[in-house]
Chain A
Amino acid sequence: MLTPKLTAIRLPGIQRGYEPEQPIRFSHRLHAGEMQISCQYCHSGAERSRHAGIPAASVCMNCHRFVTAPLGAVRAEDELAAKENRPPRRVIAPELRKLYDALGLDDDLRRDPAKPQRPIAWVKVHNLPDFAYFDHRPHVAAGVACQTCHGPVETMERMRQVADLTMGWCVNCHRDANRTGIAGHPVYASIDCAVCHY
């Protein structure tokens, strides 16, 4: 009756399709899809702790220290500057401006003591209830691809929850994995209650 396609009717507690607006319009399609940056470059917690985590702004700055705008916009400013016979100004894209503001950086990307720093409050998309203790590490260690649970993230402009994240959905995958293995090698995914509920 309630097939997965009828996303308009949602059972209580299931947030599939949740696609909240984020404080900065970060595009996974650009970074993970086009740039092919590895998931764990930013979400490094996935193999070190229970939470994959959202990267600190310092991780963004690894690249965005230099990359402040799309290439097209930079080239356009270069040409304009050449035409007007002046040194090119730094172009800063509006979303990156938000990042630099959070870090309290001025137009030259230097720390401006007058500007306050405020950490970025991302909206968490994949939420499990408090009584479920999910740990990324064994899944990453077993070779489960991130897309298995999080969907085709590299195609998403805005992050959304693709999977059910219900217990039945988790247990089904555990049972299947015990039968067929993951990426060719056998795994043992326990379905003991205490593996997730304690």
Chain B
Amino acid sequence: MSAEGANRYWRALEERGAATAAEGPDEFAARREGIDLFLSRRGFLKAAGFGAAGALLASCARAPVQEAIPFLSAPEEIVPGHALYYASTCAGCSAACGMLVKSRDGRPIKLEGNAEHPLSRGALCAAGQASILGLYDSHRLRSPLHRGQRASWEEVDRAVGERIATISKNGGAVRFLSSTITGPTIRAEIDRFLGSFADGRHVVYDPLSCSAILDAHERTHGARVLPRYLFDRAEVIASFDADFLGTWIAPVEFAAAWRAGRDLEAKPPRFSYHVQIEPLLSVTGSKADRRIRIAPRELGPALSHLAGLLAKKAGLTFSSPPPADPELSAALATLADRLWQARRRSLVVCGSQDVATQVACNFANEILQNYGNTLDVERPSYQKQGNDRALQELLSEISAGKVAALFIAAANPVSELPGGENIAAALDKLPLVVSFASHRDETADHAHFVCPDHHPLESWSDAEPVAGIISVTQPVIRPLGQTRSLVETLSTWRGRPTPAYEIFQASWRSRIFARQSQETSFQRFWDRAVHDGVAAVEPARFSPRPFDVSAVKPAAPAKAGAAEGLSLVLYAKVAMLAGQHAENPWLQELPDPISKVAWDNYACLAPATAAALGVAEGDVVRLDFGAGSLELPAYVQPGQHDGVVAVALGYGRKGTARFAGIGPRWLDAEPSVGRDGLVGVDASGALELTDGVLRYVREGVRIAKTGRTRPLACTQTHHTITVPDMFAANGSVRRPVVQETTYAAWQGNPAAGREGEEAESEDLWPDDHPYNGHRWAMAIDLTACTGCSACVVACQVENNIPVVGRDEVRRHREMHWLRIDRYYSGSQAEVDVVYEPMLCQQCENAPCETVCPVLATVHSEEGLNEQVYNRCVGTRYCANNCPYKTRRFNWFNYPHQDPFANLVLNPDVAVRSRGVMEKCSFCVQRIQQAKIEAKQAGQPVADGAIQPACQQTCPAGAIVFGDLNDRSSRVAAAVANPRRFRVLEEMNVRPSVNYLRVVRNRDETDGEKSHG
């Protein structure tokens, strides 16, 4: 079992095909070119010795004078060195998660979830964590622009005012184009502004559109509503290409809810059954209990057929032909059974942009009586309000020259929509185009006036993500430039200039205060809302009309072989979404959870397709779709449907030209940008806005090799920790680094899936270091971990981890202290995925501690493996010895180049220079802080008082940290859990990081079948 077990998991296709893992990918092949030194070894040592002596003499200089400059009149709450937390709302996407902003010395340095927020429950996603860097962005516009030149607000107000007056007099059409704005105040201000024109309209679109869901509900329920999906109430979840754990609508809320429905430690245990039917391997698909690959054009017919099966069970006369594939047909029949058994407690979701398919999805939920139980349209979500039909009409109005004035906020249509060049050309012909963008983005370049809005951290704002829950955004820093709040600008142009704060107060007084009855004093209500960050008020209830069954039409499956070429699917990556974060280096460097590629987008091909075409990873391919073509490197993606090629949106953005020089500048350095000077390739030209819907799938795409190559910065084979056969001792038990089991097996035996013996072997070290005080440990639940990588970015923000650039990532030198290892199992076509966050395991018998020549890494009395940066001389023996490969070396003075961006650095953590080793410290700065505060209060440290950055942000709550010596702590309970295992336990390093086995909701037999 052990030999087979060792090869059961694989990370890259090269490993899968290798006879033994020892013949796996040769990590050093690319770097084996000879290095030509002009200096011999001896000469170098002589020069170094002389240099060292000289440096020693030269260093005996006086230390620089340090000044301490206190306030003249100190605000009461500011204590230097003490952080203040303000409640606000994340603006990373339209989901509007609640967050706390950690502010030091009057500037925000970290974003954390707001545990009291009913939707996000204390978590933030990767994009949300990284969004703080946007505040300290030196490329952000500091003042308004007039025709690309900096201008003053007076000039701009005057010029815009004149043009508005003319347009108003002539009755010209005024359009306001934006992405989803959920805040009632901002929406009201926009409406008020447009109300002063005879023909004013607000058009909303989402670059990741859910317009089809809204349209479908209009047909079936009478109005364009987006339901609020309650995954925690669902026992059976069927998702047709809806990536709800990754990028669909509100992934943080959905991940928390999904996790709550899969709680094995609850009494009694709850475990939902999740089926994902999708063309690409998405984060959600990788966590599903059953995953079925499907071609995009068969998704609609399959869902329709499922609806037909459910209708039959309910005694309705509706049927839809079955799919041609008998396996899929059988799977749908089983799924229908399970859904029917769990009616009122099931949920069918669909991410398609085909309205008929979404209508079928509504129908399925209606038959299952899920409306009002697991999805709610009476208290709907406002997180996606885009209307693609209105957008299409607006674009044709613009190209026909019928729009007199266009205002664009929180949107970049030239870059996000297909036909960007045509849109740009049409914008150039309009009399007045005003953009509220904060950067000189592709759309702002074609605006007459750019009136930059504040960064969300500088603004007053509000958001109503779900009916009745209003999130407040408060500024935590004075505006860093001469930007102006959108509502203030609109009020100025309306003739009544009002500061944003007054607008919000007035709006809350008139609109929102009236919607609640608990508080009678407005001032108290406002103070409380600003303090909490969220207010619960009476929702504007929507009364749906009875379900209109006539709107549902059966869908015939496409004839087999009817389509030529591949289906091109455009998708959003977890970090990039539709490109709004393209200028964030943290998100560019974040390895994608599925592909583990950073700094690029690529054409994903299924292994069979790639083999048939003779395409390997890195081969630049050309995708020809009717309206254009794309050239980008290929990537072989196991688990993808064979007839699909997938490309991520959000790349090729103009602003990414700033990354040309990112990373260390040295002899062999290569730029992080592609041939055209940008990161990745802009795929938005392949989108289609037809028939009132923004479409992300194109059929009949031809693919051809170009002969060029562009090696990708793929981290999936970096830091492999599986023990190759040739290094293993004879007869030793080598356990797989991830362990999993099925729900059926777990119910029979909670320790099911354990590989090998649990007993600790003998130790040569004497047991003379007892842990008398605290004993820090961590437990990570692999069943809950969705691989979303929010923890990776949170760690980067908290610990001042540098960005190294694409070339360094290719050299395995990415600096993330916490990485998510993604393991596949199964065949190349039908894969199972396990995510394993890997960080310094804080081993008791740490192999790194014994080999450090200067004792820069030692073990603390509380179980931490400490890394002392000032003592480290950079031998790198510790990283060599680490079996988990979690140590990171500063090969260069990774520049914190941009002094403005340095304002985000955490003052509680040292910034490491070249030659120093670093690694996860369990956020020791947070541990210290909590211990000192507890000491001052005379109390013991409470369980949960210390939350490392990774734990704090995890939407699924997969990470638990605490004191093992506290027997009532959560981590002690996790360690006692029979699902617990430790990675590479056989090496007897005694790690302090424990993992809880993956449990999949499968029957035993199913489990066998899927590992082909």
Contacts and interface: CB of A to CB of B under 8 A. Distances in A.
A119 B861 CA distance: 44
Given A48-B82, A122-B68, 10 more contacts: A45-B80, A56-B74, A121-B67, A127-B63, A133-B908, A135-B928, A137-B935, A138-B935, A193-B871, A195-B928
Contacts of B861: 190, 192
Contacts of B59: 12
Contacts of B860: 192-194
B864 interface: yes
B870 A197 contact: yes
Interface string A137-157: 110010000000000000000
Given A45-B80, A45-B81, A197 B868 contact: yes
B431 to A, nearest CB: 46
Given A56-B72, A190-B861, A131 B928 contact: no
A53 B869 contact: no
Nearest to B82: A49
A84 interface: no
B934 to A, nearest CB: 10
B933 to A, nearest CB: 8
Interface of B is mostly: loop
A57 interface: yes
A109 B604 CA distance: 73
B70 A131 contact: no
Nearest to A12: B60
The listed residue with most A CB atoms (<10 A of its CB), out of B63, B866, B928, B936, is B928
A198 B72 contact: no
Interface of A: 12-13, 15, 20, 45, 47-51, 53-59, 102-103, 117, 119-124, 127, 129-133, 135, 137-138, 141, 188, 190, 192-195, 197-198
Contact of B924 (A48, A120, A129, A198): A198
A58 B81 contact: no
Interface in B54-75: 59-60, 63, 65-74
Given A194-B924, A197-B869, A49 B70 contact: no
B925 interface: yes
A20 B69 CA distance: 15
Best-buried of B59, B73, B925 by chain A (most CB within 10 Å): B73
A49 B910 contact: no
B712 to A, nearest CB: 35
Interface residues of B, number: 40
B400 interface: no
B932 A135 contact: yes
Given A47-B936, A135-B932, A194 B81 contact: no
Main SS class of interface, A: loop
Contacts of B71: 56-58, 119
B512 to A, nearest CB: 36
A131 B870 contact: yes
B156 interface: no
B920 to A, nearest CB: 12
11 contacts: A48-B79, A48-B82, A56-B70, A56-B74, A57-B72, A119-B69, A120-B69, A123-B65, A192-B860, A192-B864, A193-B866
Contacts of A121: 67-69
B79 A49 contact: yes
A131 B910 contact: yes
Contacts of B910: 130-131, 197-198
A195 B80 CA distance: 20
Nearest to B73: A58
Most buried by B among A188, A190, A193: A193
A42 to B, nearest CB: 10
Contact of B928 (A56, A124, A198): A198
A45 B74 CA distance: 12
A174 to B, nearest CB: 12
B858 interface: yes
Interface of B: 59-60, 63, 65-74, 79-82, 773, 858, 860-862, 864, 866, 868-871, 908-911, 921, 924-925, 928, 932-933, 935-936
A48 B79 CA distance: 7
A50 B82 CA distance: 8
Contacts of A47: 936
Contact of B70 (A54, A103, A137, A141): A54
B74 to A, nearest CB: 4
Nearest to B933: A137
A170 to B, nearest CB: 14
A9 to B, nearest CB: 11
A20 B68 contact: no
Nearest to A14: B63
A197 B925 CA distance: 9
A56 B868 contact: no
B107 to A, nearest CB: 16
Given A120-B70, A198-B925, A138 B932 contact: yes
Contact of B80 (A49, A132, A192, A193): A49
A58 B74 contact: yes
Contacts of A131: 869-870, 910
Contacts of A103: 72
A135 B861 CA distance: 19
B936 A137 contact: yes
Contacts of A50: 81
Contacts of A120: 69-70, 72
A134 B63 CA distance: 19
A57 B67 CA distance: 15
A192 B866 contact: yes
B69 A58 contact: no
Contact of B63 (A13, A54, A56, A132): A13
B60 A122 contact: no
Contacts of A123: 65-68
Q: Name which of A12, A51, A54, A198 has the most chain B CB atoms within 10 A of its CB.
A: A198
A124 B66 contact: yes
A15 B63 contact: yes
Contacts of B932: 135, 137-138
A80 B222 CA distance: 93
A57 B70 contact: yes
Nearest to B916: A131
Given A103-B72, A198-B925, A53 B870 contact: no
A194 B72 contact: no
B874 to A, nearest CB: 15
A47 to B, nearest CB: 7
10 tightest Cβ-Cβ pairs between the two chains A and B: A49-B81, A56-B74, A131-B870, A194-B866, A192-B860, A50-B81, A56-B71, A58-B73, A124-B66, A124-B68
